[in-house]
Amino acid sequence: MRTAMWLWLPMVLVLGACNGKGDGKVAAPAKEQKAAAPVKLAKEVPTEAPAAQDDPAAAADKARTDEVKAAAAAPKEDDREAARIAEEAKAPEATPPVEGRVELASFGDRHFYLDEFQAYVDTIPPYQKNEYSSFANRRDLLKGWMLQEMVAQKALEAGFDKDPRVVAAYRANLVKIFLSDAYNEDKLPEVSMKEVAARFEAERARYEVPEKVRAAHIMVKDRKRAEALLGETKKALAQPGIKPKREFGDLARKNSLDAESARRGGDLLYFAADGKLGSGEVLDKELADAAFAIKETYALSGVVRSSKGYHVVMLLDRRAAETRTLEEARDELRILLAREKLLKDREAYLAGLLKFEDWTVNAKALGDLKIGEDDDSPEAVKVRAASAAKAPNKPDTEEETEQQ
């Protein structure tokens, strides 16, 4: 026990020094220290002076101060507007592409799909589609369509899909596409061989093409001038390396009195032995006979007299007569007859929708309708008013029905 006390006493001295006593006194053992009296906790002192709760003026001042603080802490109207704009400006969350559709392009949150672009491409006229065979042109076409789609979306958001002009254009295009799909060449009706044979016999002349020649001529007023031109032409054609058609054409443009053919270098195009041209005009028999009498291409006739003057003729080409058989013309005739049937079916369908012999019309309202820029002129108004006054509300003649 004594040994334990000697070991414990140095530790007490060290602890006393660490407590900053510095007086050299040794602290008494804990069991010999007098127990400290219990400490009474004081009441919590209020942060505001009690007098402020009892003083009405102080209370009013405090209330005003609280109101000012609350007003300063509240968000201002400008702040709320700025916050609203910032919120609207936030980019929307990205929308993933639609599953199962081929995404052709994208811009921000907007996706552009192959099927939509294909539908747009299908509206391009056939004669323009070849312009987009290159990749660069296809890319430009895609960019133009994407821009159109973006503008269209803005127009929809602005309510333009309800605009009467848009509705009218939509309905017109709707009808066009509807009829095109209902009566297109993929749905050609059947045509029997009996129908083909009957048409072939009725139009056999179309399939019996006579021999034709193509010739050029120079026309002048008198024989002497014609003979001089004939000699000049022969001399020019005898030169080595000359191109006969071009040389004759130059002479015709300079000398021929037939202005229409002279613009083509004297070319009369193809015609049969009866002299009938493709335009319906018929050549003088003497001119046609002279052209058919020439045996070799680019050879010349002599001087030819006709009712219009004197001619020098050059043969440009010759086509042998051609006769097509029913078998050769069958496919062409079958398609022709099928198209005619399809057109009749369409006309019958439209005629069944609205029978104009049963309709009524407000003649005055139709007359007052403004269509052209000159509709408001006094003369136009007067003429329409007179016509409307005479027009019955219900057409009673076939002529009036067709005009309506």
Q: Which residue has the tokens 């605009």?
A: 163
CATH topology (fold) of 212-320 = Chitinase A; domain 3 (3.10.50)
Q: What is the spatial distance between Cα 54 and Cα 65, in angstroms, rounded to a whole number?
A: 17
What is the structure's pLDDT at 114?
95
Tell me the residue type at 365.
A
Q: Apex CA 59: angle with CA 56 and CA 62, to 5°? A: 155
Non-local (6+) Cβ contacts of 270 within 8 A are: 212, 213, 214, 277, 278, 317, 319
Q: What is the spatial distance between Cα 255 and Cα 225, in angstroms, rounded to a whole number?
A: 10
Q: What is the spatial distance between Cα 173 and Cα 119, in angstroms, rounded to a whole number?
A: 14
Under 8 Å between Cβ of 104 and 118: no
Tell me the residue type at 151.
V
What is the structure's pLDDT at 4?
41
β-bridge mates for residue 276, sequence order: 282
What is the structure's pLDDT at 54?
58
b vs e for 340-357, b when ≥16 Cβ sit within 10 Å of the residue's Cβ? eebeeeeeeeeeeeeeee
Ramachandran assignment for 275, one of left (phi > 0), alpha (psi -120 to 50 degrees), beta (any other): left
What is the structure's pLDDT at 394?
54
What is the structure's pLDDT at 291?
97
What is the structure's pLDDT at 392?
60
Q: What is the spatial distance between Cα 196 and Cα 336, in angstroms, rounded to a whole number?
A: 9
Q: What is the spatial distance between Cα 385 and Cα 240, in angstroms, rounded to a whole number?
A: 76
Q: Apex CA 149: angle with CA 146 and CA 154, to 5°? A: 130
Tell me the residue type at 113.
Y
Domain range list for the chain: 103-161, 212-320, 356-404
Low-confidence spans in the chain with pLDDT less than 70: 1-54, 68-95, 373-376, 388, 390-404
Contacts 24+ apart (CB under 8 A), 240-245: 244/298, 244/314, 245/216, 245/298, 245/314, 245/316
Q: Which two tokens stand for residue 273?
A: 């032995």
Under 8 Å between Cβ of 145 and 153: no
